[in-house]
Amino acid sequence: MMLKQFDKVSTREKIAIRAEREIVSGSYVNLGIGMPTKVANYIQADKKVILQSENGLLGIGRFPDKHEVDPDLINAGKETVTAVTGAAYFSSAESFAMIRGEHLDLAILGGMEVSESGDLANWMIPGKMIKGMGGAMDIVHGAKKIVIIMDHLTRHGEPKILKECQLPLTGKNVVDRIITDRAVIDVTKDGFVLQETAQGWTIDEVKESTGAKLHVSKQLIEEAF
């Protein structure tokens, strides 16, 4: 995407575009509900990627144009999608066998909180009505790499990247990388490491908005996306 075009997209679209760089050609990838599903629209044409959905579709394509909508063809978030040539349909049982069998190379999921030890909370807020825990608890333990994409702060301006999660956990020690509207941060054995800053954000601003100690990589790339 050209820089001029990139400047016109929303913050969440920018996060999705940056997350696409995590996808390696030839990989099997699961995109979580919400913002992660946007990543499908930005996968480079020269990348051979198979997208898997836990509701039973292997070979998800981009979101459909109006004339392409098939109400029976949906992802796990109940959004209408397209299917690539050669796509396969199967039961949720078979889908979760793929996940639990560690056949996914990468999962890109949304998050509510991430701790410095890689704990993830993304399935519920106490007191709020929820439909169920979904498939994330299996995905975070079945995929070989977990990338979380989310806003850096809550709607109330509180950090979502913390020393310890306050919300009920989806999984412990499962997150590898976090991509937010402000930065790219890796989870390591020594804690959070800042790898990239987003356009318009300084290192100090990212540190101040993070609720845990943030180490700065020697290979830091400033205003990388």
For the chain, the domains span 3-221
pTM above threshold 0.95? no
Average pLDDT over residues 139-163: 97
Report long-range pairs for 14-17 (Cβ below 8 Å, ≥24 apart). 14/181, 14/198, 14/225, 15/149, 15/179, 15/180, 15/181, 16/41, 16/42, 16/149, 17/42, 17/225
The set of residues, in sequence order, having a beta carbon less than 8 Å from that of 73 and lying 6+ positions away, is 57, 80, 81, 82, 83
φ/ψ (deg, to 5) at 215: -80, 150
- In tens, the pLDDT along 4-31 reads 444 557 899 999 999 999 999 999 999 9
Between 28 and 79, the more confident residue is 28
Q: Quote the Cα angle for 15-18-19, to 5°.
A: 85
Candidate CATH numbers 3.40.50.740, 3.40.220.10, 3.40.50.460, 3.40.1080.10; the one for domain 3-221: 3.40.1080.10
The single residue of 20, 22, 54, 196 carrying the catalytic annotation is: 54
* Amino acid 126: pLDDT: 75
* Amino acid 2: pLDDT: 39
* Amino acid 5: pLDDT: 46
**Band (128; pLDDT cuts 50, 70, 90):** confident
> For residue 175, which amino acid is it?
V
Residue 41 half-sphere exposure, CB side, CA atoms within 13 Å? 17
Lookup: tokens for 198: 């987003």
Q: Quote the Cα angle for 189-173-43, to 5°.
A: 95
- β partners of residue 23: none
DSSP 152: S
- In tens, the pLDDT along 34-63 reads 899 999 989 998 999 999 998 899 999 888
Active site residue 54: yes
Q: Is 20 helix (H, G, I), strand (E, B) or coil?
A: helix
